[in-house]
Chain A
């Protein structure tokens, strides 16, 4: 796996490759307010700590515990996206029009280079802190993203889990709940920040988003779940080796790691790109 350095930062360097495609959304920044900055770092740690305290209960009764913790996880995630992330449609440069439409579909997306965006939003948003309108403008997309998470992302992740080897004939409730947890972890922030932007979701499907906290955590959740399958075949006969537990632990850890890694300057804005040279090479040969 190689990170393509040429396309960093931002989406600007993607354009020569696909001239007819609409330029996709730039990586998402954590909101500049102090609370947002602090909480966005504390949030993964908080989730991990909460997960660690519930670990024993999950091992004892996965279905019950996963179901009862799901609302709490949802609340924490909602709080996180509202506090830390710009809602869909509120492109950083047009942040002054505070009542930015919450519906991601109708909002045309300007894709200024994110470097400029980072400068632009600083200071202007402070005016809107504590204003009710602002909170409402964030709560609405948050609720929308929630409904999408449960209505779309959970079934899709369930199917993916089964395709990756989760049992189909047994453990159905565990699989669905595991998918729900993973969906809340990964999809809430994605839908909140991007709405239903087709280009973005195309990139998500092709695992080609530029790295940021949102995409990093989503990718981390998936990768973590994949790596979480490793201890299952061991013959240790521990109760936590049962099906959804290691996967979920992997997903949570992956979420935390990805969320923190995605925003570090080293990887921010870069894309997962497996085919750095090969494509061009083969293209040359074909032509």
Chain B
């Protein structure tokens, strides 16, 4: 016993060590070349002259390609421009992670952002993500003496501190705001169009993304918002036609990323990675590039030509006559280039050499980046005899291609069109180099990966004896647990099972329910009290048989509460579809849940007399807070219900922050009361704490998820009537923790992290507090079941479940780490497997150590 508990402690110390070791090898470090690029390195003096001297860069957050190009788009004027040839439409492939900050990095630097940016995107205050010291086209413009102006998403201000001469940032924190965020940008537009001192006007509209997050791409708000954006385009384009100082201005309209059918983004589905990209200028009309519009997509969301989002930076650089940002991996739009050249060409040869020169410039810049990343590789014109034509990828391929370019350039005839000879080779080099560099956004330290894997594996080995003993003692339950661990571990190697992990937990849960049913049936046959059976006869008999059906029904409701994952995310569910259609049912359940919570808190509070009713205060506060929160966060839930009538009359004297604090203080008082209560009432203390936790977690959950706690109550009641053994409680808790995490709308994608409740009661950013609150709001279900598990456990002191839980956590970590190591060159490593690894980290540290084990340490005394 002593050995096994020590082994558990050691194992739990080893798990974080393993995580740290693995992470240090897994998250890539990308070499950056400091400083700004200049032209002189290219050697030749004929720099391609600038075509435009100003740029208006309009980013519409989550502007998916079909929002602009499809038949039911609101961008009517823009489509008109496409037809007249004044707008050159593209679909810009935005590689995952498709969240704003990494995408902005890609657009401005032309590089592929590292995965760390995703985490930094969430930890908003972080300043390490700043691009102030990196080479971007903004910095280049600034270096040439231009002035920059920025309106919209304040991510830009964080990325480029001190870069803008005039700026007005809007925060994207309140997602329910569809109009104000955009008005705040649009109101500056007429002013700025009248000014002629800037060389770049950047606008970033957030409203469309907010609509997507709230109501999805098919929301009724979507088309009006597109009309609104289109009217901004109209305003700017008309100004460009009419105003003299805007004569040679390039207008870029683009999305930073798209959205999936549920309106979320972060992953790598076609919808998320396909934002629109348009270059607009009256000058383009002369090129005669008329296109049809609206059109049908050639592939899923692919309209017109698909380019890389990282290509925007070099293209802009070329068009504005500034050097290409140093770390850029982008290729210039050769098509656009060609067109532009055609317009200004004198002779064919000159065009060719110009074009070649721009490409060569681009190639040299990429070569620079390549040699910094791979210091060992040689890029010289001689050598490389083993250069077969098949090797067209990887660093060797790049070397080959470079050699070929050098050979072609040195042997070429002056009379030939230089572009025709060396052009294809240059393009090929660019393609290979881009590929190589995108991949080394991820150079792993494999030895550390292995070490981390080993340490976690050893942690698992430490608890193996205790687990084995426990599993052999309860053969069938142990077998079930082992099968669960093995299947769950195997699943981590398949990207679609990682994306759809909730399906596994729902599936295994239905199996576990059947198991419990069989067990309780055989138990009731063998050990039912005959006196009881005779007295209540058929009633007991039937309730015995059918209670499991109620349990299965609640589980089925849980399953459909929030659709999550990738494949079925857009299908109708209860929280989003049913409740918006039947708000009165939602509010009925909502109120009932709070009434139920208040009733239980009242019953478990360890004080007597009239003071007892003081316990109602936190419940009432929590209820009104949630209503308050809903009116300011998601008012559409209130539309046309009796609640909205009440809320109209509500005196808004309290701020949300203060209101939340009052709730938390009230609950803290309840917990204190429970703790100072008499020693003999320790089990009741846990009851009180559980009820306080119940209300706290309800406060931290989305309003539509609040009725889930009512379901939990029913399920807990049924489970406690089943007289589960220790190991069965452990397995049930494990399954329910994972299942409820997904039922609350969680998934293994970064995009599903719910940040809305992370700032409850906080008025300034604090990593710890926001972290704890965000964790509680995303892991509300798991925390609830961890607390409930202590109430389900049989009274007699059995084997501590810590060993089993630790074993499970270690094994699941091992499988996720192994999957990440084995599949580190997989296409989806950054979109599917690394987010899963991040989630596993949270499960292993926060949920396992902080919630499960701490709870075990605190409450195990109360059972014995």
Binding site for B on A (CB under 8 A): 1-2, 17-18, 20-21, 162-165, 168-169, 205-208, 226, 229-230, 232-236, 272-279, 282-283, 285
Contact = CB atoms under 8 A, between A and B. Distances in A.
A4 B287 CA distance: 83
Among A163, A234, A274, A277, max chain B CB count under 10 A is at A274
A263 B500 CA distance: 38
B496 A164 contact: no
A282 B560 CA distance: 36
Contact of A165 (B473, B496, B549, B559): B559
Interface string B528-566: 001000000000000001000100110110011000011
Contacts of A20: 530
A1 B476 contact: yes
Interface stretch (B187-195, B434-442, B512-520): B512-520
Contacts of B794: 282
A131 B518 CA distance: 43
Interface stretch (B329-337, B503-511, B636-644): B503-511
Among B480, B507, B555, B565, max chain A CB count under 10 A is at B507
Nearest to B723: A282
A233 B523 contact: no
A-B residue pairs, 5 tightest by C-beta: A206-B521, A233-B500, A235-B496, A274-B476, A163-B552
Contact of B506 (A165, A206, A208, A230): A165
Nearest to A20: B530
A100 B522 CA distance: 32
9 contacts: A18-B525, A20-B530, A206-B521, A206-B522, A207-B518, A233-B503, A235-B495, A277-B475, A279-B527
B368 interface: no
A225 to B, nearest CB: 11
Nearest to B552: A163
Interface string B484-501: 000000000011110110
Contacts of A274: 476-477, 515, 518-519, 522
A275 B567 contact: no
Interface of B: 473-477, 479-480, 494-497, 499-500, 503, 506-507, 510-511, 514-515, 517-519, 521-523, 525-527, 530, 545, 549, 552-553, 555-556, 559-560, 565-567, 572, 723, 725, 794, 796
Contact of A208 (B497, B515, B522, B796): B522
Contacts of B506: 165
Nearest to B487: A230
A169 B573 CA distance: 10
Contacts of A164: 510, 552
Judged by DSSP, the binding face of B is helix
A232 B525 CA distance: 37
Judged by DSSP, the binding face of A is loop
B510 A163 contact: yes
B499 A235 contact: yes
Contacts of A229: 503, 507
A285 B796 contact: yes
A226 B511 contact: yes
A278 B726 CA distance: 10
A2 B556 contact: no
A279 B507 contact: no
Contacts of A206: 517-518, 521-522, 525
Nearest to A4: B522
A279 B476 CA distance: 12
Given A162-B556, A163-B556, A275-B476, A234 B494 contact: yes
B549 to A, nearest CB: 8
A233 B518 contact: no
Contacts of A282: 723, 725, 794
B569 to A, nearest CB: 12
Contacts of B511: 226
Given A274-B515, A278-B725, A18 B556 contact: no
Given A207-B517, A236-B496, A277-B475, 18 more contacts: A2-B475, A18-B526, A165-B507, A165-B510, A165-B556, A205-B521, A206-B518, A206-B525, A207-B514, A208-B525, A230-B507, A232-B503, A235-B495, A235-B499, A276-B475, A276-B476, A282-B794, A285-B796
A81 to B, nearest CB: 26
Contacts of A275: 476, 519, 522-523
A226 B527 CA distance: 30
Contacts of B496: 233-236
A57 to B, nearest CB: 25
Nearest to B549: A163
Nearest to A226: B511
Contacts of B479: 1-2
